[in-house]
Every structure is written in structure tokens, then in C-alpha cells.
Amino acid sequence: MTRPFLRAPLDRLPSLKLRLGLLIVLALGVTLTTMWIASALGVRLRLAALTGLVVSLLAVQVVARGTTSPLRELARAAGRIAGGERGVRVVVHGRDEVARLGDAFNTMAAELEETDRIRRDLVADAAHELRTPVAALRAALENAADGVQPADPEELLGQVVRLGDLADVLLDLSRLDAGASTLERRRVTLADLVDVPVDAPEGLLVDADPDRLRQVLGNLLQNAERHAPGATVVVRARATPTGGVRIEVEDDGPGLDAGDALRVFERFARSDRSRTTPGSGLGLAISRSIVELHGGTIRAEAVVPHGCRMVVELPAGGGPGKTEGPV
């Protein structure tokens, strides 16, 4: 819900300091003018000065109200967000520091709303993923207990392994989010990290944690094989002008659905086409966290006429990174 961010009479001014300065000049001008008028009417000096002060205070109060109203609206909106509302926004007028504060508030509120949505989806999706193997285990054990069908040890082991794998993945993702995972960087070649041929210049080295980068490439290859069975998958690497490395994992499968290029990196994100394929839906989310931990970026691109290309760009050294949208 949008709250009014009241317009100040002087909100066209680009600086709050300039606005306050004009208010001081206004107060002084009103005071002197009132004193002059009162003196001309024969009013004593003290009374004229007091009258001028009162009139200037009233004038400044009227003009300054519009300046302070946005701050009060921001305080009320912040209190509503603290109380659990996530759709609160303020309407911003002007170009000064208060207006920029309003823009920053709206950005923060939008990010909080999106974080809450992701958290709710994560809990729901995690519960759904856990329910499937638990239900299979329960059914098998109940059948065995009732004497309907003897338990199949391989089936039980498979479900237990699935539960364990999901728990490991969630724990790994939690550590990455908390910043508890550290990198042991060294310069390695991609050929040492994957079992498929890599189209890369001879001697190209990547400054990365080998185990973590192997995990990223493994996730990308598994994702391509899972969602494009039988497709040709190619891994390429090139140096970037800034001294980093660009890695591409490309397949000639059916490609991404419209709008999925960003969603594929969300936790438990599953496109309509991929819901029938096995997997936790966390591999790309973990890959994103690992790439960002390296200070790099990861994105999905559509391939013409069909196919999907996952692009990882790692800088020459460490630094804060981000996930980019489709190009």
C-alpha cells in the first residue's frame, strides 16, 4: 500500500541545506518586516520585536511543515514495516536528500517483500521435497509391518540417500548464505575440473577455489543433461579484457521458457517443463552463491534457434559479485 509522501512548498530545491537556509532568510525577513511595520504604527520596540518573532515563527511553521511531513510519513511507514506489513511504499516528490531517502526506503521495502516471498517459497518447497521420500519410506514400512509386502532394502536405501542428499544441499546453501564457507583460491585449468572436453585457449588459468568451481560446473552440466536429454553439451572458456575468465556451458536442447532466465537461479525453481525431471531444484541456486562468493556473475542466455547457455564470469581477483539477468 502506498502512503502519501507530502509535497513541500520548496520541494523543487535540490538540497535540504538550501531549503533550510531559505527558511532562515524567510524568518529573518518576516521578523524585520513585522518590526518595521509595528514601529511605524508607534508600537514600542520590545513589543514590535516580540510581534515580529511570533509572526516569523508562524510563517516558518507553515512553510516548514511540508519539509518535515515526509519524515513523519517515513517514520510511520517504517513502523508499519516493523509491524509485519511488507507492501508499504511512500510517494516521493522533489530531488533533495529527503526525496533520496524516500527512494532508498522504497527500494528497501521492495527487497524485504521479495525476501519474505522467497523465504515462504523456500519453506513450502523444502517441505514438499522432503515429503516425497518420507511418504515413500512410510508406505514401504507400513506395508512391511502389516505383512502386505516385504520391504525392499534397495528402495529404502534409495529414499534415505535422497533425504540425506537434500539435507546436505540445504546445509551447504545455508553455509553459503551465512558466509561461513571460505575459498581456497589457486590458479587451475578447467580441464582438471570436468570430465568433458573444454574449448579453451591453451594455458588458460582460472583464479578460483577448485572444489567449489568443480561443484558449479558439475551442477551446470547435470542441469543441462537433466533438462535436455540427448542434447549436445559444450563447455567453453575465454579470458576477459579485465583479466578474468568467461565460462560457458551450452546445450542445443529445447531451451528456457519465456521468463525463466532469472527464475532458474531461485531456490527450488522448477520450470513447467522440468517438473517431471528428478532433482531438488537447488543446484543452480548453490552455483549462484558460489559464483557470487568468488566475486563473479552467473546468468542464463537463450541460444538461437534453440538451446540454453549458462554464462559464468569470474574476475581476476576476489570481490563482491552479483547475479545478472538475461542478456
Rounded average pLDDT over 3-11: 49
315 pLDDT more than 60: yes
**Among 178, 211, 226, where does a domain finish?**
178
CATH code (residue 278): 3.30.565.10
CA distance 175 to 161: 21
Judge if 94 and 204 occupy the same domain.
Answer: no
Judge if 6 and 98 occupy the same domain.
Answer: yes
Rounded average pLDDT over 2-16: 53
Q: Over the stretch 226-245, which tens digit does the pLDDT of each residue have?
A: 888 888 999 999 999 988 99
pLDDT grade for 327, boundaries at 50, 70 and 90: very low
| Least confident range of 4-13, 40-49, 66-75 | 4-13
Quickly list DSSP for 96-135: SHHHHHHHHHHHHHHHHHHHHHHHHHHHHHHHHHHHHHHH
Judge if 8 and 126 occupy the same domain.
Answer: no
Does the N-terminal peptide bond of residue 150 adopt cis geometry, omega within 30 degrees of 0? no
Judge if 309 and 191 occupy the same domain.
Answer: yes
Q: Are 281 and 270 in contact (CB under 8 A)?
A: yes
The pLDDT, as a whole number, for residue 220 is 94
304 pLDDT more than 60: yes
Judge if 224 and 129 occupy the same domain.
Answer: no
Answer yes or no: is 322 within a domain: no
CA distance 86 to 323: 24
Judge if 199 and 237 occupy the same domain.
Answer: yes
Q: Over the stretch 253-275, which tens digit does the pLDDT of each residue have?
A: 888 776 667 678 877 665 544 44
Which residue range is the domain that position 35 belongs to?
2-110
Judge if 221 and 304 occupy the same domain.
Answer: yes
Judge if 28 and 99 occupy the same domain.
Answer: yes
276 pLDDT more than 90: no
Q: Is the pTM of this model over 0.75?
A: no
